[in-house]
Chain A
């Protein structure tokens, strides 16, 4: 077993402009580790979508990323409103984002489907009123 590298980020829910910084940092870290560009792109896009979701739907949260020899694991955890119907939320085009968010370029209802598409494993745990935890894995 090789060493497990872990990274932790607090994702600020009040700052749309800086949203995505954790994903940018992970992208840099993975580059330094010499991971293939295609894998890095998949990890960054999936994490970025999740990070934006935490900012626009959940008031922020936490991101934990661990890198082992054969896998990148991303865990995004928030104490937001939760997702009442996960199956519906996973459908392309489904979004509850208000017009204000749409005018910022988000709310196409493509984020969760993209996260699923770019990762090898994705699990959503969510409880209404408590929050959401999304776990994603990308094989290296």
Chain B
């Protein structure tokens, strides 16, 4: 799924990374606990989270994730925007709640991913 599609489906605003909206994501993960996110290996994934601090973007960067969606209309901190720009991560903000946002992406064909054994 293209990131631009995620933006549309979640009626999200672009915070930064507009130039990378054409990139594809192949898996997704929704969590407010960063070590839960780090337990799953995924390629070109999107992270959905209601957590707002710089470690969200660092976690995404460590995982080589390409997009972060802040749910429940959360606004990113200036540090988050700075870090996302540096690493080319598309940062989106959506009004949807976590459950709904995940459900919408899932039913539109973006599945989760397997636990690394």
Interface residues in chain A, defined as those with a beta carbon under 8 Å from any beta carbon in chain B: 16-20, 23-24, 27, 37, 41, 44-45, 48-49, 52, 102, 104-111, 113-114, 117
Q: Which residues of A contact B32 (CB under 8 A)?
A: 105
Interface residues in chain B, defined as those with a beta carbon under 8 Å from any beta carbon in chain A: 32-36, 38-39, 41, 49, 51, 53-56, 58-59, 61-64, 79, 116
A117 to B116: give the CA distance in the assembly, Å: 9
A106 to B116: give the CA distance in the assembly, Å: 20
B79→A114 contact, CB < 8 A: no
B58→A48 contact, CB < 8 A: yes
B61→A27 contact, CB < 8 A: yes
Q: Which residues of A contact B62 (CB under 8 A)?
A: 20, 23, 27, 41, 44-45, 48
B33→A45 contact, CB < 8 A: no
B38→A49 contact, CB < 8 A: yes
B38 is contacted by which of A18, A24, A45, A109 (Cβ under 8 Å)? A45
B39→A110 contact, CB < 8 A: yes
B35→A114 contact, CB < 8 A: yes
A48→B33 contact, CB < 8 A: no
A117 is contacted by which of B34, B39, B56, B64 (Cβ under 8 Å)? B39
Q: Which residues of B contact A110 (CB under 8 A)?
A: 33, 35-36, 38-39
A123 to B62: give the CA distance in the assembly, Å: 22
B53→A16 contact, CB < 8 A: yes
B53→A108 contact, CB < 8 A: no
A106→B33 contact, CB < 8 A: yes
A88 to B58: give the CA distance in the assembly, Å: 27
A110 to B116: give the CA distance in the assembly, Å: 13
A114→B58 contact, CB < 8 A: no
Tell me how far the C-beta of B20 lies from the nearest C-beta in chain A, rounded to whole angstroms: 18
B53→A104 contact, CB < 8 A: yes
Tell me how far the C-beta of A22 lies from the nearest C-beta in chain B, rounded to whole angstroms: 11
A105 is contacted by which of B41, B56, B63, B79 (Cβ under 8 Å)? B56
